[in-house]
Amino acid sequence: MKPAALPSLRIDSVRAVPISILPASRFGTNRFTGDRDPARFRWFGPFSQLTGATLVEIKTAEGLVGYGMGGGGGAACYIIENHLRDLLIGADALNVELLWDQMFSSTSFYGRKGVAIQAISGIDLALWDLSGKAAGVPTHKLIGPTVQPRVQAYFTSPKPEIGLKLGFTAFKLPMELPPDNPKPIVDRLVEARRKVGKDAKLMIDVLCRWTVPFTIDVAKRIADADVRLDFIEEPILPDDIPGYEQLCREVKSTRIASGEHEYTHYGFNELIRHKAAQILQPDLTWSGGLTTGKRVVELATRAGLPVMPHRGGSAFGMQLIVTSKQCPLAESFGPGESNEMWMRLAAPFEKGFYRATEGPGMGIQLPQGVLKQYGL
């Protein structure tokens, strides 16, 4: 839907470049000891996570420039340059949701999930950035009224003590221990609870490493140890919807979160329909942009489910979060990191809370010197 009372903005150019915000080594190794090396399952390559981030730049004939962050690295850039750009050049940049539907339909025979949607994500966010700039308001003002001007942040890191120093009161630990023995996992969480205190929120991110039986066993042991876990994120692979159904049905001591690696409102509707997640976690830079985020929140509101966007503390994520009470937490993006692009794409953070950027559009400042570093 085009923002009301705005003139047309004709798209004049579309460019996309890879921006590796995190090193590939952060997500595994490509050196294997043999055919059955477990590391083969954990090597995510150059197109996944923030190793494969992309920066999309869209310029209009009227002189406005919009920026969006997507995923898929060089693979997504190829799709943008060799397919999606054909749909965008000459189109009205303010027809954001119409263009989303056209891009999704146009890529559906090879896309629907994964890298094609990650490419669309970066474009969609750049278009919303342009829409806000054209209206002279923060993008979230085009989404809806501000119902929560700031939101509690949670710190994702294996070192919660860093988050404590930064003022966080909620923490999520990546579970990087091998899924062969629950005791070290429980011991680590007992120690984490001791560090963060009895009143802090504590969560874990498994990054799809476990099985259903192992998750059920660990959840019971964590409850017995009185860790008081708020949720377990992505314990199993995202396509195992029956497994997520079982976990949501049988695990009573904590909630099951999923959606970081789900795509579009169609995918999230399936999670909701099957009762396969108790917390929805779309990443706006991967799952389809702000257009998808809006639609997921609408679905979640009807289902009574919370939405906690992955990396919600980005300038992009906070445009959605401040407009909905369905979004009670924002994940860390920026604090504790040193990458310049990461910091420039982050929302304002202070004393454990994020708020949305205040400038027009996404409120992102990308000087020419920074853009040149990435080839724009």
> Hey, which residues are catalytic here?
310
* Residue labelled with tokens 């146009």: 106
Closest listed residue to residue 121, CA positions, set 1, 343, 291: 291
Rounded to an integer, what distance in angstroms lies between the CA atom of residue 207 and that of residue 217? 17
Q: How many Å apart are CA 17 and CA 56, to the nearest integer?
A: 7
- Hey, how many other C-beta atoms are within 10 angstroms of the C-beta on 353? 18
How would you class 20 by CB atoms within 10 Å of its CB: exposed for 0-12, middle for 13-18, buried for 19 or more? middle
184 Cβ neighbours under 8 A, 6+ residues apart:
177
